[in-house]
Amino acid sequence: MLTFVKQIFTWWNHQTLGTRFHTILFGKFKGRDNFGNKYYQSKSGKRWVIYNGEVDSSKIPNEWYSWIHYTQNKIEKVHDQKKFQWQKEHKPNLTGTSKAYHPNKNKNDYKKYKTWKD
């Protein structure tokens, strides 16, 4: 019941109820990426993604980025490309969390300026 209520009122928890109906009625499944995101296209050419987990647009891998943005690219035709050892897995945006990147680890050095009244 709670999942149903979340789908009606929130878009950041997977898909809304309207998106689900639109996908069932008009969407043609085009594929799935390694994160579990599902990609759909309508007959009119509109493309969308149903995210697996939290909605984060940076979770679209390079193989699908060109497809979702209507860019002609050789990557869009080969979804199972070989991944190199130096390529890193996706990390979500950690801004605002305790795991966010800080150039100065000392908590007293977070200010970029010093006030003239010390």
- Helix (H), strand (E), coil (C) string for 77-107: HCCCCCCCCCCCCCCCCCCCCCCCCCCCCCH
Residue type at position 3: T
Please write the tens of the pLDDT for every residue from 73-103. Answer: 555 555 556 778 887 777 777 888 888 877 7
Please write the tens of the pLDDT for every residue from 4-31. Answer: 666 566 655 667 777 888 888 999 999 9
Domain that holds residue 52: 2-107
Assigned domain for 118 exists:
no
**CA–CA dist 65, 68 (Å, integer):** 5
Assigned domain for 27 exists:
yes
Number of domains in the chain: 1
Assigned domain for 51 exists:
yes
